[in-house]
Amino acid sequence: MSKLIECVPNFSEGRKPDVIEAIAKSIKDSDGCHLLDVDVGESTNRTVYTFVGNPSSVIKGALNAAKVAFKLIDMSTHKGEHPRFGAMDVCPFIAVRDTTIDDCIECANQFANLLATTLDVPVYLYGAAARSDERKLLPNIRSGEYKNLPKKLKDPLWLPDYGTSEFVSSWGATAVGARNFLIAYNINLISTKEQAHKIALNVREKGRGPTQRGRLKNVQAIGWYLDEHNLAQVSANLTDLGVTKIYQLYEEVCKDAKELNLPVVGSQIVGLVPLKAVLEVAQFYIDQEKLFVLDEMSKVKLAISRLGLDSLGKFEPSKKIIEYAVADENRDFPLGTLSVQSFVKSVASRTPTPGGGSVSALVASLGAALCTMAGQLSYGKKQWESVEETMRKSIPSVHESMMDLIPLIDLDATAFNTYMDALKMPKETDDQKAKRNEKMLQGILQAIEVPMQVMSKSNQAWSSAKEIAQSGNKACLSDLQVGARCLEIGVWGALQNVVINLPKITDESLKNKIEAECMAKMKTAEDACKEILEILLNRKA
């Protein structure tokens, strides 16, 4: 799969369609760039563009967009609600696939240098690309905004990282950074700007200052008013989704709004959002309201509904969720997305992959799928009302095993290819031999780890499969028999893929440890399958 970097430049123009479209076109026309989203804010007078590509492509795309903005945007006449200090106000790079934060830092430095030398403008580095702690936070760099920039550029402590320290009135300055996913998330209120800002001060980490911190970590927020929608917003950035979730911010704002007797009327995600963040929202409300929602897209719809993400415009998952938006840009799991016929033919082809490991993962996932189907056909039906609670608890577990096993179909093939690539490395010198042996060991350990995951993920389904077998729809007994056997054969097939690779490991203690662990997993599968088949046989009698 190709390397993928996301670039999210924010331009200080949200009211002139011709300018907004010209910048968008410059990105679309850049080779290797895929424009995913254009989020226009009229009151903020700001447009956020989101596009992806390989590292060199996104740098070129960002530069092409900046060149257009340099000709068409004049900061000396700009007015808007959003804090800003430049025509291309901020330009972050974010790792998406097969890339790291270091790759993004490299992109930020290359782009910052090109921007400064091409347009002769001041450029600051922020986030992970910052060269000092004072410049890591964007609000610090942008403090004083455009009106204070002439004075700031003369301050020795705030000389630009790249480019001129002279004030360019039409452009201002640009902050270029590298960061993890940041969610720009706004919550709508029927209130004044001041009331929204009061809530923002309560929830944001900085609060009202050092002595009066806010309640939520890694949240930046202000309050503003949108004239075109006749409502206010708590406008926030969630800078670490591992610390503060979208639903936590939404619930905290709702709590403060209720205390002030202010209605919350939906919310808005600016740019794109990771699927995981949306599913976390859904899971929160599923748990809170004791809902039964299994399908991924149903969970996405639930999150959209509970947060009111359609309130200011249609929230289209295919365009707003990054994994869906880039799905046609080299699919994450190509084998898992093939038709049955194509997959079977690919197994039969004259190539070592996909082979027994991928087929084992597929068979195991089908076993979990059959158990899921049997559970679904036992839920929500009048004649099976007595087992509804059991099904609500059991179905998600077998469904989760099914979903976890699907990507392993591809990972098994990828792991084997890593070992095959190592075999092709040069071995003329002692140094080359050492590097080759090290790479071969890494490949073998990876080739062993994936089938061990297949065994573990398959075994996670047994407990719930047993519950479904004991009390589920009798019309599905044969399906459950096949399902149990598929899970067992998936584990057995994965075991064979481990066994065939074990001799390549020279560390005897490691080899024995892996073998013992795998044999224990196999026994778990054999015992569980036997028990379920006996249960089903007795129910048939």
What would the DSSP string read from start to end of 48-88? EEEEEE-HHHHHHHHHHHHHHHHHH--GGG---SS--SBSE
Q: Which two tokens stand for residue 452?
A: 């061990």
* pLDDT score of 334: 61
Concerning whether 310 is annotated as a catalytic residue, the answer is no
Residue among 229, 150, 149, 145 at smallest CA distance from 187: 229
- Helices within 353-429 (DSSP H only): 356-376, 388-423
* pLDDT score of 2: 72
391 is a domain residue: yes
198 and 346: one domain?
A: no
Spatial distance between the Cα atoms of 175 and 112, rounded to a whole number of angstroms: 9
170 and 84: one domain?
A: yes
At which residue do the structure tokens 């799991």 appear?
A: 333
Return the bridge partners of 224, or none. 233
The residue range of the domain holding 126 is: 4-178
171 and 196: one domain?
A: no
341 and 320: one domain?
A: no
Residue among 474, 283, 300, 486 at smallest CA distance from 401: 486
**66 close to 27: Cβ distance less than 8 angstroms:** no
Residue among 210, 230, 93, 113 at smallest CA distance from 161: 113
* pLDDT score of 332: 44
CATH at 468: 1.20.120.680
85 and 164: one domain?
A: yes
Spatial distance between the Cα atoms of 227 and 273, rounded to a whole number of angstroms: 26
Q: How big is the chain by its Cα radius of gyration, in Å?
A: 28
Amino acid type, 123: V
521 is a domain residue: yes
* pLDDT score of 152: 96
Own/partner long-range contacts of 520-526 (Cβ < 8 Å, ≥24 apart) = 521/452, 521/455, 521/456, 521/459, 521/491, 521/495, 522/455, 522/491, 522/492, 522/495, 524/459, 524/462, 525/455, 525/458, 525/459, 525/462, 525/487, 525/488, 525/491, 525/492, 526/488
273 and 288: one domain?
A: yes
446 is a domain residue: yes
* pLDDT score of 133: 94
16 and 134: one domain?
A: yes
224 and 307: one domain?
A: yes
- CA atoms within 13 A of residue 224's CA, in its CB half-sphere: 18
161 and 235: one domain?
A: no
* pLDDT score of 250: 98
Those residues whose C-beta lies under 8 Å from the C-beta of residue 531, and which sit 6 or more positions away, are 466
**188 close to 225: Cβ distance less than 8 angstroms:** no
In the chain, which residues have pLDDT < 50?
1, 329-333
316 and 387: one domain?
A: no
Model-wide pTM > 0.75? no
Tell me if the bond preceding 274 is cis, omega within 30° of 0.
no
Those residues whose C-beta lies under 8 Å from the C-beta of residue 102, and which sit 6 or more positions away, are none
User: How many residues can be counted in the chain?
Assistant: 541
Tens digit of each residue's pLDDT (9 = 90 or more) over 181-213 = 889 999 999 999 999 999 999 999 999 999 999
Concerning whether 102 is annotated as a catalytic residue, the answer is no
State how many domains the chain has.
3
Domain closes at, from 178, 202, 218? 178
Q: Which of 39, 256, 412, 479 is catalytic?
A: 412
CA 264 to chain centre: 27
Q: Which of 34, 37, 39, 82 is catalytic?
A: 82
Domain closes at, from 325, 351, 379? 325
